[in-house]
Chains A and B, each alone.
Chain A
Amino acid sequence: KNQVEQSPQSLIILEGKNCTLQCNYTVSPFSNLRWYKQDTGRGPVSLTIMTFSENTKSNGRYTATLDADTKQSSLHITASQLSDSASYICVVRGGADGLTFGKGTHLIIQP
């Protein structure tokens, strides 16, 4: 069964600090992996998409990595801001049109 596991489940860090969120998947065959940011009471918004041949991709203070061999991805947030407080969801597309969602990491940035 295709699965996406995210860790940690929740994380609290101080403003200005860096953090890394993890995503492990068993989806096969692999097509791509997206990281979404979901603010409280809002729908998810895409941060970045990773394909099989990409190892690293940055979007401002967000940097995603992908290791297709070990089926792992990470999202690194640099110099965190209060507005980074949200849930971060890893979504893997595999097969013809299937998406598998992780449960997300709930990130809280404290001043």
Chain B
Amino acid sequence: EADIYQTPRYLVIGTGKKITLECSQTMGHDKMYWYQQDPGMELHLIHYSYGVNSTEKGDLSSESTVSRIRTEHFPLTLESARPSHTSQYLCASSRGQGSSYEQYFGPGTRLTVT
């Protein structure tokens, strides 16, 4: 089991609310990622970070923002949640930038916006 944690695991929230999804890893990994996954669909990369103070947007456009102030912590924030944001959000980390490095995934946060 990977040492990467996400909270909350489940969240139901009303439209317009600000939310922050937490992700922490204790493996000392430099690279961290956020993916969005809808049921029966592939994972889509929405944000990634190569290290502290480094953040990049992924392949899928997202209205969320991320920060990387500490190596172990990579929170994702939605300033104003909308029903279209309903999805599962998966956080992952990897040791380095080499092509063989495995990404370790957290358990995910299932977000429902009503």
Could you tell me which A residues sit within 8 Å of B by CB distance?
4, 9, 31-32, 34, 41-46, 49, 51, 89, 93, 97, 99, 101-104, 106
Are A42 and B42 within 8 A (Cβ)? Answer: no
Are A45 and B42 within 8 A (Cβ)? Answer: no
A89 CA to B90 CA, complexed, in Å: 14
The B61-114 residues at the A interface (CB cut-off 8 A) are: 90-92, 97, 99-100, 102-103, 105-108, 110
B52 sits at the interface (CB 8 A): no
CB distance from A41 to the nearest CB of B (A): 7
CB distance from B48 to the nearest CB of A (A): 9
Which B residues are in CB contact (< 8 Å) with A104? 40, 42
Could you tell me which B residues sit within 8 Å of A by CB distance?
2, 4, 40-45, 90-92, 97, 99-100, 102-103, 105-108, 110
Which A residues are in CB contact (< 8 Å) with B40? 9, 103-104, 106
Given A41-B108, A43-B92, A43-B105, are A101 and B99 neighbors across the interface (CB < 8 Å)? no
Interchain CB contact (< 8 A) of A32 among B4, B43, B99, B105: B99
Number of A-B contacts (CB under 8 A): 47
**Chain A to chain B contacts (Cβ below 8 Å), 29 pairs:** A4-B42, A31-B99, A32-B99, A34-B102, A41-B107, A41-B108, A41-B110, A42-B107, A42-B108, A43-B91, A43-B92, A43-B106, A43-B107, A43-B108, A44-B90, A44-B105, A45-B2, A45-B105, A46-B102, A49-B102, A89-B43, A93-B99, A97-B97, A101-B42, A101-B44, A103-B40, A103-B41, A104-B40, A104-B42
Which among A34, A41, A51 has the highest number of chain B CB atoms within 10 Å?
A: A41
In chain A, what residue has the closest Cβ to B38?
A103
A34 CA to B102 CA, complexed, in Å: 9
Are A101 and B43 within 8 A (Cβ)? Answer: yes
**Extra 15 A-B pairs, beta carbons < 8 Å, given A4-B42, A89-B43, A101-B44:** A31-B99, A41-B107, A41-B108, A41-B110, A43-B105, A43-B106, A43-B107, A43-B108, A44-B90, A44-B105, A93-B99, A97-B99, A101-B43, A102-B42, A104-B42
